């Protein structure tokens, strides 16, 4: 964080005050955005300049409307799937084999779809409906993004290998990868594989040398791939032989760009609104609107958490800005845009201060594409495909599966079902399947149907500065919006500390747990406190802080000790001191193995002591008994698993977190 005395703001004063920082960051973000804009555009079935148009429109328009200081607006890999799907549905083939008349017709149809979707986004922002982004469960969204990552990989691997006629859906393309490798064009595959290797290795190298940190891997790829393409003479059509087989090289493996200065303006296309008469156009309008708005909202929220000054984005205003910018982009032939997380993170890392860094990155894009288009023509398509494959692996990384599994097994099931259904059908059906499964699991866990879309809340004042909200029935993703509104109205609007009591809820799902944590940060930034109570009355499905909590019996350990009265007194004192909240002591008589074998008929006076404790604490007590007691004294120790109705009755305040790990044992 900078030592500046005030929070940077994107106003007229901020434009001058932070120009140097914002311009430098804009230049570095431009180096990432340039190849990605072109690559995403081509992967979406649009002309290569379309992605540049989008980024420039986002820089010029969104910067002036949104108050999001750190986000970079532009085309995103997450939208490739729906844009390409729309193009293909209107008869295009994703520019396979060049930009044909059918591709042009489909492209202009997709622009019309983008215009109407943008208008819906504008209305969305004007009517302050940005909060609807809170409805979608995080697990479903992550499953959708992972599926998008897999689809990107499936479609870009053949491009990186020089295969020009790959066809089929994502599952079919994945099955064909071995065949793509066998029939790869070796020269093009060399460019693709070297580019992919750089994308994976460069972050490791950059992390070890501070001087390399500002240099993005995308730039290194271009510095290597462009000379490779020139060495292979890709600007001229020719054949070569390798492995006793003949292969073709030529400009079809390079990005198509205008030759003249500012020739980009000759490539501006306008939408064909006649397609709006067709029903399928409205299906894609819904996809563009819902997925684009959701991704943009989630990205803007994520960037707010990364902002060193913790500035808050007005989500309604940001959706409005994205909608207006999308309208402008679609009218001049651009892709749909969102608040893009990777470029925004780079913007922050590069020292940007205000939203004008987004403006500067657009200025550099305009100058580059307008003044030196022939340089961009030398970028091999395989290098751009490698960048997108890398992006896909980030979206569908195995860590995504592990992270979801840590939250709960039921979350992993929702994640996987969403991913598989998206791959097998489309995004909307996949998201709907994930939400439907989540609702089914909630019903199975006892959530009353009446509380699915209504939050049952009781509000009471604790003192002049603090209020309490008591949640009844359930706190789940589908009733979170009214729940959140109540929390914000009482806490953030009225400037009161807040206690949220969840002990009366049947179930608190993982989405709500995560969103409550986010709200806690907002309260902290406002100088207020948001305290959660009652979670210890519910059973956690995993040890993760975001795990689902539900009413029911909680597994714990019951430890029984049998020993002589003197030692029992010592053990009780030590074990209670370790965190056990109570015990039961029963005098008894008995004989151990040694006494029975010696025919001693007089039973010994002993004491039976029972403790109830969480699993983790039980392990600590057992370790103490094994190492410090049982080597010196005769003690019988028995441990069994039992279930209790109220875990808080058996866990001290200091040991309370240990109770949440019990289901994993």
Summarize pLDDT for 82-136 with one digit per residue, the tens.
999 999 999 998 766 667 889 999 999 999 999 999 999 999 999 988 787 888 9
Per the structure block, which two tokens stand in for 436? 């439907």
Dihedral sign of CA atoms 327, 328, 334, 339 in order:
negative
Residue of 469 and 648 predicted with greater confidence? 469
Q: In whole angstroms, how large is the CA radius of gyration of the chain?
A: 31
Mean pLDDT of the chain: 90
- Asked whether the beta carbons of 48 and 317 are under 8 A apart, the reply is no
pLDDT of residue 658: 42
Q: What is the pLDDT of residues 230-287, one digit of tens each?
A: 999 999 999 999 988 999 999 999 998 877 666 677 778 899 999 999 999 999 999 9
Task: State how far the Cα of 319 lies from the Cα of 301, in Å rounded to an integer.
Answer: 12
- Asked whether the beta carbons of 496 and 532 are under 8 A apart, the reply is no
Q: What is the pLDDT of residues 602-633, one digit of tens each?
A: 788 999 999 999 888 999 999 999 999 998 99
| Helix (H), strand (E) at residue 603 | none
Task: State how far the Cα of 145 lies from the Cα of 103, in Å rounded to an integer.
Answer: 27
Task: State how far the Cα of 638 lies from the Cα of 556, in Å rounded to an integer.
Answer: 14
- By CB neighbour count within 10 A (0-12 exposed, 13-18 middle, 19+ buried), where does 632 fall? exposed
Report the b/e string of 261-284 with b at 16+ CB within 10 A: eeebeebebebbeebeeeeebebb
**Residue partners of 485: CB distance under 8 A and separation at least 6:** 131
Q: How many helices (H) and strands (E) does the chain have?
A: 26, 15
Helix 381-395 with 186-208: angle, nearest 10 deg:
50
The pLDDT of residue 4 is above 70: no
CATH topology of domain 553-664: Alpha-Beta Plaits (3.30.70)
The top-level CATH class assigned to 450-549 is alpha beta
Indicate the range of 34-38, 88-92, 154-158, 654-658 predicted with least confidence: 654-658
User: What is the phi/psi pair of residue 337, to 5°?
Assistant: -125, 165
Task: State how far the Cα of 14 lies from the Cα of 590, in Å rounded to an integer.
Answer: 83
Task: State how far the Cα of 591 lies from the Cα of 521, in Å rounded to an integer.
Answer: 60
Report helix, strand or coil for 213.
coil
Partners of 74 in the β-ladder: 338
Among the listed residues 552, 557, 575, the one whose alpha carbon sits nearest the alpha carbon of residue 662:
557
The pLDDT of residue 5 is above 60: no
Global pTM? Answer: 0.84
Q: What is the pLDDT of residues 370-413, one digit of tens each?
A: 887 778 889 999 999 999 999 999 999 999 999 999 999 999 99
User: What is the phi/psi pair of residue 640, to 5°?
Assistant: -140, 160
Per the structure block, which two tokens stand in for 378? 């030398």
Q: What percent of the chain has pLDDT over 90?
A: 74
Task: State how far the Cα of 533 lies from the Cα of 514, in Å rounded to an integer.
Answer: 15
pLDDT of residue 538: 86
**Residue partners of 127: CB distance under 8 A and separation at least 6:** none
Residue corresponding to tokens 């000379």: 227
DSSP track, 52-93: HHHHHHIIIIIHHH---SS-EEE--GGGHHHHHHHHHHTT--
Instruction: Count Cβ atoms below 10 Å from residue 237 Cβ, excluding itself.
Output: 11
Q: What is the pLDDT of residues 164-174, one digit of tens each?
A: 888 888 999 99
- Asked whether the beta carbons of 33 and 343 are under 8 A apart, the reply is yes
Q: What is the largest CA-CA distance in the chain?
A: 110
Per the structure block, which two tokens stand in for 75? 């085309």
Task: State how far the Cα of 38 lies from the Cα of 50, in Å rounded to an integer.
Answer: 8
Task: State how far the Cα of 196 lies from the Cα of 181, in Å rounded to an integer.
Answer: 15
| Bridge pairing between strands 338-340 and 72-74 | antiparallel
User: In 488-548, which ranges are continuous DSSP H helix?
Assistant: 510-525
- By CB neighbour count within 10 A (0-12 exposed, 13-18 middle, 19+ buried), where does 325 fall? buried
Per the structure block, which two tokens stand in for 68? 């999001």
**Alpha-carbon separation of residue 638 from 607, 619, 641 (angstroms):** 14, 13, 10
Indicate the range of 97-106, 149-158, 289-298, 331-340 predicted with least confidence: 97-106
The pLDDT of residue 1 is above 70: no
pLDDT of residue 371: 80
Domain ranges for the chain, please list them. 27-400, 450-549, 553-664
**Where residue 536 falls among pLDDT bands split at 50, 70, 90?**
confident
pLDDT of residue 95: 66
User: In what side-by-side order are the strands of the sheet with 584-590?
Assistant: 584-590, 604-613, 554-563, 636-644
pLDDT of residue 214: 87
């Amino acid at each position: 964080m900078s030592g500046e005395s005030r929070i940077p703001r994107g106003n007229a004063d901020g434009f001058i005050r932070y120009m140097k920082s914002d311009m430098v960051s804009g230049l570095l973000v431009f180096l990432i955005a340039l190849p990605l804009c072109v690559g995403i555009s081509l992967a979406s079935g649009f002309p290569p300049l379309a992605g540049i148009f989008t980024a420039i429109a986002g820089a010029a328009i969104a910067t002036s409307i949104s108050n999001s200081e750190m986000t970079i607006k532009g085309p995103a890999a997450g939208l490739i799937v729906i844009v390409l799907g729309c193009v293909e549905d209107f008869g295009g083939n994703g520019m396979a084999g060049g930009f044909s008349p059918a591709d042009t017709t489909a492209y202009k149809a997709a622009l019309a779809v983008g215009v109407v979707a943008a208008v819906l986004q504008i209305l969305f922002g004007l009517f302050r409906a940005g909060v609807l982004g809170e409805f979608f469960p995080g697990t479903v969204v992550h499953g959708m993004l992972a599926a998008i990552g897999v689809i990107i990989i499936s479609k870009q691997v053949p491009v990186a290998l020089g295969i020009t006629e790959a066809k089929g859906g994502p599952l079919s393309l994945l099955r064909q990868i071995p065949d793509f490798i066998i029939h790869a064009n070796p020269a093009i595959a060399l460019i693709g594989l070297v580019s992919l290797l750089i994308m994976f290795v460069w972050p490791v190298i950059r992390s070890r040398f501070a001087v390399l940190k500002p240099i993005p891997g995308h730039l290194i790829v271009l510095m290597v791939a462009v000379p490779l393409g020139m060495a292979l003479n890709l600007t001229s059509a020719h054949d070569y032989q390798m492995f006793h087989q003949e292969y073709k090289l030529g400009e079809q493996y390079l990005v198509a760009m205008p030759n003249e200065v500012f020739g980009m303006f000759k490539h501006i296309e306008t939408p064909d609104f006649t397609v709006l008469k067709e029903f399928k156009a409205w299906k894609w309008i819904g996809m563009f609107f819902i997925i684009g708005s959701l991704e943009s909202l989630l990205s803007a929220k994520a960037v707010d958490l990364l902002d060193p000054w913790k500035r808050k984005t007005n989500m309604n205003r940001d959706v409005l800005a994205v909608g207006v910018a999308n309208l402008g982009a679609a009218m001049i032939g651009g892709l749909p845009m969102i608040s893009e997380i990777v470029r925004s993170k780079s913007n922050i890392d590069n020292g940007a201060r205000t939203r004008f860094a987004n403006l500067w990155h657009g200025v550099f894009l305009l100058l580059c594409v307008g003044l030196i288009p022939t340089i961009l023509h030398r970028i091999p398509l395989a290098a751009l495909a490698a960048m997108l494959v890398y992006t896909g692996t980030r979206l569908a990384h195995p860590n995504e599966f592990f992270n979801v599994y840590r939250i709960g097994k039921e979350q992993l099931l929702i994640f996987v079902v969403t991913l598989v259904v998206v791959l097998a059908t489309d995004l909307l059906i996949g998201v709907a399947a994930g939400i439907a499964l989540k609702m089914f699991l909630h019903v199975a866990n006892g959530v009353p149907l009446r509380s699915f879309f209504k939050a049952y809340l009781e509000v009471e004042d604790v003192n002049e500065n603090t209020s309490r909200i008591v949640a009844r029935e359930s706190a789940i993703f589908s009733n979170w919006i009214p729940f959140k509104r109540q929390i914000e109205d009482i806490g953030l609007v009225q400037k009161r500390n807040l206690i949220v009591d969840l002990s009366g809820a049947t179930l608190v799902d993982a989405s709500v747990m995560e969103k409550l944590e986010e709200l806690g940060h907002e309260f902290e930034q406002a100088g207020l406190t948001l305290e959660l109570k009652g979670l210890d009355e519910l059973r956690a499905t995993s040890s993760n802080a975001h795990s689902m909590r539900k009413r029911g019996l909680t597994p714990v350990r019951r430890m029984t000790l049998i020993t002589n009265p003197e030692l029992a007194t010592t053990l009780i004192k030590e074990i209670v001191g370790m965190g056990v909240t109570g015990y039961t002591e029963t005098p008894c008589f008995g004989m151990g193995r040694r006494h029975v074998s010696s025919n001693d008929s007089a039973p010994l006076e002993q004491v039976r002591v029972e403790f109830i404790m969480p699993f983790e604490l039980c392990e600590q007590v057992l370790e103490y008994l094994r190492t410090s007691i049982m080597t010196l004294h005769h003690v019988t120790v028995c441990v069994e698993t039992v279930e209790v109705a109220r875990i808080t009755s058996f866990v001290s305040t200091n040991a309370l977190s240990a109770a949440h790990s019990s289901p994993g044992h």
